[in-house]
Amino acid sequence: MNAALMKLRKNRASREVGVEDAGDAVEPRDCVPNPEEICARTEQNAALREAIAKLRPTLRNVVELHDLQECSLQETAETLGISVSAAKARLFHARAALRGTAKLKAAVP
């Protein structure tokens, strides 16, 4: 049984694709999003900003610095005058609250 599995694994790694077949296998994807995708992304961003705005100020500040302004945890902690572990904890609680908000909105039509 093990020998058969090893043979299958060996054959899987050595598969080759011909040059003629390679062009057919890779289809270039249109990089420009369609209007539906743009609208959906805009609605998601608006909902996310609204949910962030409803967070407690202590949690909102951590999310804004770390996620929106892309500061490191160390920089976020220094800016807020708290320890790195406190910043991590606040970020964890903020993300949990945001996930809870997203689940509630998904459940309510």
Q: Is residue 14 part of a domain?
A: no
pTM value is 0.60
- How much is the pLDDT for 13? 57
Q: Is residue 108 part of a domain?
A: yes
Q: Is residue 79 part of a domain?
A: yes
- How much is the pLDDT for 71? 92
Q: Is residue 39 part of a domain?
A: no
Residue 89, domain CATH = 1.10.10.10
Q: Is residue 83 part of a domain?
A: yes
Domains held by the chain: number: 1
Q: Is residue 2 part of a domain?
A: no
The pLDDT tens digits for 76-91 are: 999 999 999 999 999 9
The stretches in the chain having pLDDT less than 70 are 12-30, 103-109
- How much is the pLDDT for 19? 52
* Positive/negative CA dihedral, 71, 69, 105, 40: negative
Q: Is residue 29 part of a domain?
A: no
- C-alpha–C-alpha distance, residues 73 and 106, integer Å: 30
> Residue 58: CB partners within 8 Å, gap ≥ 6?
90
Q: State which residues form the domain around 88.
A: 47-109
